[in-house]
């Protein structure tokens, strides 16, 4: 029998990420969640509204300059009886790989939709990723203080475009200047909107009953029409169903305005009530139940130099089962070594602190001295590997040249370490000693150049290189593989993780190679 205290801790955990299109309000809502979780006292400490675009989770100078969130961090806060872990995801689409992997480490997501814009591109893409794992999705329709689109149209769009059943939980009363609050369709309660209270915690002003005198007073002449609207909404929309939500087939929908800090509390209440506690996870050998007492976890992200004061690298681990306790021994399964961990950290709104204990569902940071890679599994001794953490073949390639040739060592080290983080990949061709950086998006090159300069003090130049695509190669027949390696030497490279890769100058070249070497598998994704 598992220890009751442990089981309680696990059932309290809610580990999630926010998916949205840039500008929908992810940062603003994060801030309000931290306010509700009492992690911060006033809003504005996450990201200054004007000019100084700076958030607790956006700590890199470059992010400040560009106002984008490049790297993700983790925030833990208590709410009601729960311990909530919010994993921040990079906002810019070039960083999708990092986002995908973060989504493998959560148990559910919150989808934010800008009420004026509806379902946008990036949300569609991220939703596809969630669907691969049937991740439960809760929806918040934001910016009710503006002129938004007809809420019924918005729900229709969610259903049609995202192919998920939408079940409204709250319904807005008016919008823009006439926005008066939201009505909870299940509790028959009106939550009254008070303007201009976005920066601190707001009182929860409620009116019980749409038929009450107070409701009639609040709605005035619009009361009759609103009662009709609610009838219509109840008739035309789907009812909430917990099982369908947990299966990723239905999304409960809340309305509000993150900027004015309204509707967020109602949403968070629904979230902690319905969102799943840590789910069981697949490995190559067996399913690991989240309530199993033996510790296990996997690395979904590596972040170099998180804090310029420390200049180290942190590997982010999702604890999948059991308890981490300070000083414990864990097995690093890929290299088959037992290590004693005394200095794992936890993350609270950007601050890191030493952690004594962590449970299934929590995220802890391990100091990485170069032995930890994305996808690595850690256990209490059993040899396991968590599956489903993807690595995608890059689509862009550049040769890196140094401005100062004396700094080759620093360059190699920098590129190697940055590629361990997983947003770029390093390839070292076998026929020469060039360094080729592969990326999924253009912006990553700028980030790499910036960080090489800032953190490793090397300046580099990118040059075009004749590579169109890359494939990881494998073969079960060692003799054939040797023959392949000999014949194709000019196209082969070793990637940052030591894997053999085929660099194809053109698609046609790749097709021909695949035809010529049927025994060799050319893989466009690699599991970490």
Please, which residue, 178 or 432, has the CB nearer to ligand GDP? 178
CB of 180 to ligand GDP, least distance (A): 15
191 labeled part of a ligand binding site: no
CB of 417 to ligand GDP, least distance (A): 28
Tokens of 138: 């809760």
Using H for helix, E for strand and C for coil, what is the string for 117-136?
CECCHHHHHHHHHHHHCCCC
- Listed in sequence order, the residues at least 6 apart from 285 whose beta carbon sits closer than 8 Å to its beta carbon are 383, 384, 385
| Per-position DSSP letters for 78-112, written without gaps between them | EETTEEEEEE----SGGGHHHHHHHHHT-SEEEEE
- Span 49-78, contacts to ligand GDP by CB under 6 A: 49
Report the nearest approach of ligand GDP to the CB of residue 272 (Å).
21
- To the question of whether residue 92 is assigned a binding role by annotation, the answer is yes
Shortest distance (Å) from residue 136 CB to ligand GDP? 21
Q: How far is the CB of 385 from ligand GDP (least distance, A)?
A: 34
Among 20, 99, 102, 377, which residue interacts with ligand GDP (rule: CB under 6 A)?
Answer: 20
Determine if residue 90 is labeled as part of a ligand binding site.
yes
Residues 255-314 that bind ligand GDP (CB under 6 A): 257-259
Question: For ligand GDP, which residue of 26, 191, 318, 407 counts as binding (CB under 6 A)?
Answer: 26
Q: Which is nearer to ligand GDP, 260 or 346 (CB)?
A: 260
Question: With binding defined as CB under 6 A, does residue 24 bind ligand GDP?
Answer: yes
CA distance 417 to 426: 10
Q: According to the 3-state scheme, what is the secondary structure of 19-85?
A: EECCCCCHHHHHHHHHHHCCCCCCCCCCCCCCCCCCCCCCCCHHHHHHCCCCCCCEEEEEECCEEEE
Residue 528 structure tokens = 């970490």
3-state DSSP assignment of residue 401: strand
One residue of 23, 280, 380, 514 binding ligand GDP per CB under 6 A: 23
Least Å from the CB of residue 116 to ligand GDP = 9
21 is in an annotated binding site: yes
Residues 86-145 that bind ligand GDP (CB under 6 A): 91, 142-143, 145
Round to the nearest angstrom and report the end-to-end CA distance of the chain: 33
Number of residues assigned to the chain = 528
Give the CA diameter of the chain: 85
DSSP category for residue 173? E
* Of the candidate residues 15, 19, 25, 185, the single one contacting ligand GDP (CB under 6 A): 25
Contact positions with ligand GDP (CB under 6 A) in 233-262: 257-259
Nearest-approach distance from CB 38 to ligand GDP, in angstroms: 20
What does the binding site for ligand GDP look like in residue numbers (CB under 6 A)? 20, 22-28, 49, 91, 142-143, 145-146, 257-259
Known binding-site residue numbers for GTP: 20-27, 88-92, 142-145
């Amino acid at each position: 029998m598992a220890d009751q205290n442990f089981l309680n801790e696990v059932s309290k955990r809610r580990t999630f990420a926010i998916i949205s299109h840039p500008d929908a309000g992810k940062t603003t809502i994060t801030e309000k969640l931290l306010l509700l979780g009492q992690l911060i006292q006033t809003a504005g400490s996450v990201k200054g509204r004007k000019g100084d675009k700076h958030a607790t989770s956006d700590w890199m100078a470059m992010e400040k300059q560009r106002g984008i969130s490049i790297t993700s961090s983790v925030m833990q806060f208590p709410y009601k009886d729960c311990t909530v872990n919010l994993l921040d995801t990079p906002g810019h689409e070039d960083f999708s790989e990092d986002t995908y992997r973060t989504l493998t480490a959560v148990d559910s997501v919150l989808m934010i939709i800008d009420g004026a814009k509806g379902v946008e591109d990036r949300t569609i893409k991220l939703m596809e990723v969630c669907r691969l794992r049937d991740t439960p999705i809760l929806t918040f329709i934001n910016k009710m203080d503006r002129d938004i689109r007809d809420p019924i149209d918005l729900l229709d769009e969610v259903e049609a475009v995202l192919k998920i059943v939408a079940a409204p939980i709250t319904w807005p009363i008016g919008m823009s200047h006439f926005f008066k609050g939201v009505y909870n369709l299940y509790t028959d309660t009106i939550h009254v909107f008070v303007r201009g209270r976005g920066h601190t915690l707001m009182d929860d002003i409620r009116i019980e009953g749409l038929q009450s005198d107070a409701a009639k007073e609040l709605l005035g002449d619009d009361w009759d029409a609103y009662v009709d609207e609610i009838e219509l909404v109840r008739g035309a929309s789907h009812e909430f169903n917990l099982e369908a939500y947990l299966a990723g087939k239905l999304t409960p929908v809340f309305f509000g305005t993150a900027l004015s800090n309204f509707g967020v509390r109602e949403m968070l209440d629904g979230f902690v009530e319905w969102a799943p506690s840590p789910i069981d996870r697949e490995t190559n050998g067996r399913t690991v139940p989240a309530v199993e007492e033996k510790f296990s976890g996997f690395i979904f992200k590596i972040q170099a130099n998180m804090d310029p004061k420390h200049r180290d690298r942190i590997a982010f681990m999702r604890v999948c089962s059991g308890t981490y306790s300070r000083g414990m021994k864990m097995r690093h399964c890929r290299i088959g070594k037992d290590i004693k961990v005394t200095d794992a950290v936890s993350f609270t709104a950007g601050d890191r602190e030493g952690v004594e204990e962590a449970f299934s569902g929590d995220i802890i940071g391990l100091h990485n001295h170069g032995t930890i890679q994305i996808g690595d599994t850690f256990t209490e001794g059993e040899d396991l590997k968590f599956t489903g953490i993807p690595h995608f073949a890059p689509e862009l390639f550049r040769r890196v040249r140094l401005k100062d040739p004396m700094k080759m060592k620093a360059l190699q080290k920098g590129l190697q370490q940055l590629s361990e983080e997983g947003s770029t990949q390093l390839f070292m061709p076998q026929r020469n000693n060039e360094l080729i950086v592969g990326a999924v998006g253009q912006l990553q090159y700028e980030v790499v150049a910036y960080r090489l300069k800032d953190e490793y003090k090397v300046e580099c130049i990118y040059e075009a290189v004749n590579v169109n695509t890359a494939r990881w190669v494998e073969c079960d027949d060692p003799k054939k593989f040797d023959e392949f390696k000999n014949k194709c030497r000019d196209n082969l490279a070793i990637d940052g993780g030591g894997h053999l890769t085929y660099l194809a100058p053109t698609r046609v070249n790749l097709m021909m190679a695949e035809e010529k070497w049927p025994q060799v598998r050319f893989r466009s994704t690699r599991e970490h």
